[in-house]
Amino acid sequence: MRLVSKLIILLICCFLQTACFRAVNFDEGIACFRAENYRKAFIHLLPAAEGGQPDAQYAVGYMYYYGRGVVEDREKAWQWINRAAAAGQADARQALVILDTHHKMVR
């Protein structure tokens, strides 16, 4: 029983450490994004975006759309911005309206 308790405590500690690392990574990514250091921002924000963080998803989509820190890829941009919008990220929702309007005008 003591071994099981120790294992549970160890797992909880590992989980908390991972959560703290992700939060620090996300904060660093946002700081880099605001400083227009997009390559570094992308490196920090991609794991958060993959983990479902809507602000990170929108930022990654933005970087793909404009080719900031990554090679421009409008398809990936659309996917990330769409995920963020589906999660309720306000800027992403607004971006989808703009992108949809622009797409209709181009056709």
Per-residue pLDDT of 38-92, as tens digits, reads 999 999 999 999 999 999 999 999 999 999 999 999 999 999 999 999 999 999 9
Question: How many other β-carbons are positioned within 10 Å of the β-carbon of residue 67?
Answer: 13
Output the pTM of the full model.
Answer: 0.75
Give exposure, 25-45, as e/b (b: 16+ Cβ within 10 Å).
bbeebbebbeeebbeebbbbb
Which of 89, 64, 91, 90 minimizes the C-alpha distance to 78?
Answer: 64
Residue-range domains of the chain with CATH = 25-105 (1.25.40.10)
